[in-house]
Structure 1
Amino acid sequence: MSSFIIEGGHKLAGTIVPQGSKNEALQVICATLLTSERVTIHNIPDIIDINNLIILLRKMGVKIEHPLSKTYIFQANDLNLDYLQTNDFLAKSAFLRGSIMLVGPLIARFGYAIVPKPGGDKIGRRRLDTHFAGMQKLGATFTYDTKRCTYEVKSNDSLHGEYILLEEASVTGTANILMASVLAEGKTTIYNAACEPYLQQLTKMLISMGAQINGLASNLLVIEGTRSLHGCEHTVLPDMIEVGSFIGMAAMTASELRIKNVSYNNLGVIPDVFRKLGIILNKEDDDIIVPAQESYTVNTFIDGSILIVVDAPWPGLTPDLLSVFLVVATQANGNVLIHQKMFESRLFFVDKLIDMGAQIILCDPHRAIVIGSDRKYNLRSTTMTSPDIRAGIAMLITALNAQGISQIYNIDQIDRGYEAIDKRLNALGAKIIRT
């Protein structure tokens, strides 16, 4: 098992460029299956989840070129659908939760898909009901094989447009249903749709491929199905989760960092929530400059009550950054209630932070009260194991702040979402060894 050995207490300095968005890349790469023509995608991050998806598509028969760093060309004009029945496909797609988004394009274009129970982060129950209920509305049928633990999806006739009210504003559920509906007959209406920048980017790409979609950036999408889509060229946005992670690193280590080309208008409330924690952020063109702060004071509400940081569907705060906000709050002057609504296991990593000296009360699986120390007490180094991508990066940020040598095991989880994070941080002054 790979690990990071981190010598804490070193300040960071310099400029860092965020990678392409992991969540967006997973969606738009799956969307290349919707056409037989060439699709060029730029700014694809070199991370485990994306590389595994590209390997999976190649084994399915997609022709893939890699002419430049971070640029790929996909052409799905001669797929081997028999590969979907193989144990190799089932094993590889089970390891990658993003593989669920292959179902929409496959059922729309070929009338058949199969998917195992997806893997990915161990952060609690993540239902597939939203995906399946929406596609059933479009005319697909589902069969669950209890022996192989797979879902087989079929559409004997072409999919047909339908009014769909999503039970939850699921990002991947919305993406899957949207990709299925662009080739369905007639009009599809998706209400309570997720509208994160990832979805907006996917929608823009589909429109550039010839799809007819109205309601961009809203929770109501109206799609007029077309017979076929054509190729296009698309550029993935910077990863807003990485941007937030770098802000957290600068705050925790009292360092000055410039984060380049962040696509500030697509960050939503993320900068404002950091400012509520007392973090100073300066915007310069499309860069964020975080000045070195030895102390930062949490804002309270007007009536003096404790600040609550809570996740919500876009344009609310993304749940992927709550772990970062939690660790940043440990060094603040003031108290914060972190409320993670979506996943019941995402806050369980705080027991390691408590071992390091952080003052945190885990109220229940969804809520934690953080009592900021205002840097009066140094965090202690320790040994940890990363349970998921976001807890892993939060552990890394904490280790950068702690005095002494910390070790983080299972760093493949971090590598799933962060490109060469050790090399990039070492270039800024961190002391991280990969073993």
Structure 2
Amino acid sequence: MASFVIEGGHRLKGDLVPQGAKNEALQIICATLLTPEVVKIYNIPDILDVNNLIQLLRDMGVEVQHIGVNSYSFKAENINLDYLHTEDFLRRSGSLRGSVMIVGPLVARFGMAVIPKPGGDKIGRRRLDTHFLGIQKLGADFCYSPDKQLYEITAKELRGAYMLLDEASVTGTANILMAAVMAKGITTIYNAACEPYLQQLSRMLNNMGARISGIGSNLLTIEGVDYLTGCEHTVLPDMIEVGSFIGMAAMTGSDINLKNVSYNDLGIIPDSFRRLGIIVEQNGDDIHIPCHDTYEIETFIDGSIMTFSDAPWPGLTPDLLSVFLVVATQAKGSVLIHQKMFESRLFFVDKLIDMGAQIILCDPHRAAVIGQGHAHTLRASTMVSPDIRAGIALLIAAMSADGTSTIHNIDQIDRGYQDIDKRLNRIGARITRI
């Protein structure tokens, strides 16, 4: 198990280029299973979750070639379906939550799929009902073995259908969409997720010959086709990393330029940081965060305490609430963080309380933060990263703290952030990987 040792109190100065979007890359890579032709993908982040998915596809028989920096070609011409029943496949796919998105492409193209109950972050229950109910409506049969914790999916033929999703699940929508593009007839998905990741997936599928309309809305219409071709696709910058760097810059009093962020795809994120009192300057497709000695949380118009809560796009992404929480600890003012989607994502706040932050954990979903306005600097501490987003929040806290902190289990951070220590050290951070 690797660890970070962080010497806090150093201001950063320089440029950062965000990596490719992890959540988009996982969807796009799974979509390469829909065609026997070559698909080239650029700006793929070099992170554990993505690399593990690429290796899983290699083991399934996909020809994968590294064609450049963060660029790969995929050719899923000869898939070994027998491999899906091996212990090696079940172990590998079970440790990676993103592997659930191979179900849609496999059922669409081969009429069968096998998937164990997937792993991923320990952030509470993350059900798969939306995925499976949607694909069932297209004509697939599901069989679950409680003993093996294994799903087996079969379909003689997928047929288009109307469906109203019970939740606007990003990965659920992606899975259903990839199954529907080769179903007979027309599929209508209402209450579909419409994050930029889904928009990118839809555009890529259309470039492969799919017929998807309504892109960017919560109502998708898919006219099934018999065959999809190869294509080329470039992954967007990671909006979660952009948001993480904005918060990190403000909390450490740093002066940072974020380059090529695809600003128009950031949605409400920049304005949400502005409501924390952080100056976010747009320069074309770049963002400048000037040095902040202090920043003050706004109140609502009637003077009530500011609340940040997650919501489906174009609402605030749940992946950034951990960052908003930690950044608020050193702001002037108070804020309520309401994590609606996951019941265990706020449990890391006890680590921040140990560092001197004033936080009241109201329940598994809500935390009240009383900002100290840098009047009381956080104390260094020894911590364990429970998941990707809590991990980056703890790293931000450690970078602003007085003294030297240690974060264990940083494999969790590596799952979502590429070479984070090297990139930050280049602009003034003091992070040592052990």
TM range (shorter): over 0.9
- Residue of structure 2 equivalent to 1:122: 122
Matches within 5 A, 1:277-426: 277-426=276-425
Q: Normalising by the residue count of structure 2, what TM-score does the alignment of the two structures yield?
A: 1.00
CA distance in 2, matches of 1:424, 1:93: 30
Matched residue of 1:283: which SS? strand
Consecutive unaligned residues in structure 2, runs of 5 or more: none
CA distance in 2, matches of 1:281, 1:196: 22
Matches within 5 A, 1:46-85: 46-85=46-85
Identity %: 70
CA distance in 2, matches of 1:154, 1:296: 55
Matched residue of 1:199: which SS? helix
Matches within 5 A, 1:221-232: 221-232=220-231
- Superposed displacement of residue 149, structure 1: 1.1
Matched residue of 2:372: which SS? coil
Consecutive unaligned residues in structure 1, runs of 5 or more: none
- Superposed displacement of residue 230, structure 1: 0.3
How big is the alpha-carbon RMSD for the aligned residues of Structure 1 and Structure 2? 0.5
Matched residue of 2:59: which SS? helix
CA distance in 1, matches of 2:310, 2:58: 36
CA distance in 1, matches of 2:418, 2:390: 16
CA distance in 1, matches of 2:385, 2:114: 30
Question: What is the identity, as a one-letter code, of the residue corresponding to 1:75?
Answer: K
- Superposed displacement of residue 81, structure 1: 0.4
CA distance in 1, matches of 2:127, 2:107: 20
CA distance in 2, matches of 1:163, 1:383: 52
CA distance in 2, matches of 1:226, 1:67: 30
- Residue of structure 1 equivalent to 2:89: 89
- Residue of structure 2 equivalent to 1:179: 178
Residue by residue over 1:99-129, the C-alpha shift from the partner in whole angstroms, topping out at 9 and shown as x without a partner, is 0000000000000100011000000000000
Question: What is the identity, as a one-letter code, of the residue corresponding to 1:34?
Answer: L
- Superposed displacement of residue 67, structure 1: 1.4
Matched residue of 1:390: which SS? helix
Matched residue of 1:433: which SS? strand
Residue by residue over 1:354-385, the C-alpha shift from the partner in whole angstroms, topping out at 9 and shown as x without a partner, is 00000000000000000000100010010110
- Residue of structure 2 equivalent to 1:145: 145
- Superposed displacement of residue 146, structure 1: 2.3
Residue by residue over 1:175-234, the C-alpha shift from the partner in whole angstroms, topping out at 9 and shown as x without a partner, is 000000000000000000000000000000000000001100000000000001000000
Asked whether 1:271 is paired with 2:270, we answer yes
Question: What is the identity, as a one-letter code, of the residue corresponding to 2:166?
Answer: E
- Superposed displacement of residue 37, structure 1: 0.5
Residue by residue over 1:325-361, the C-alpha shift from the partner in whole angstroms, topping out at 9 and shown as x without a partner, is 0001001011000000000000000000000000000
CA distance in 2, matches of 1:282, 1:214: 34
Question: What is the identity, as a one-letter code, of the residue corresponding to 1:249?
Answer: M
CA distance in 2, matches of 1:403, 1:372: 17
Q: Normalising by the residue count of structure 1, what TM-score does the alignment of the two structures yield?
A: 0.99
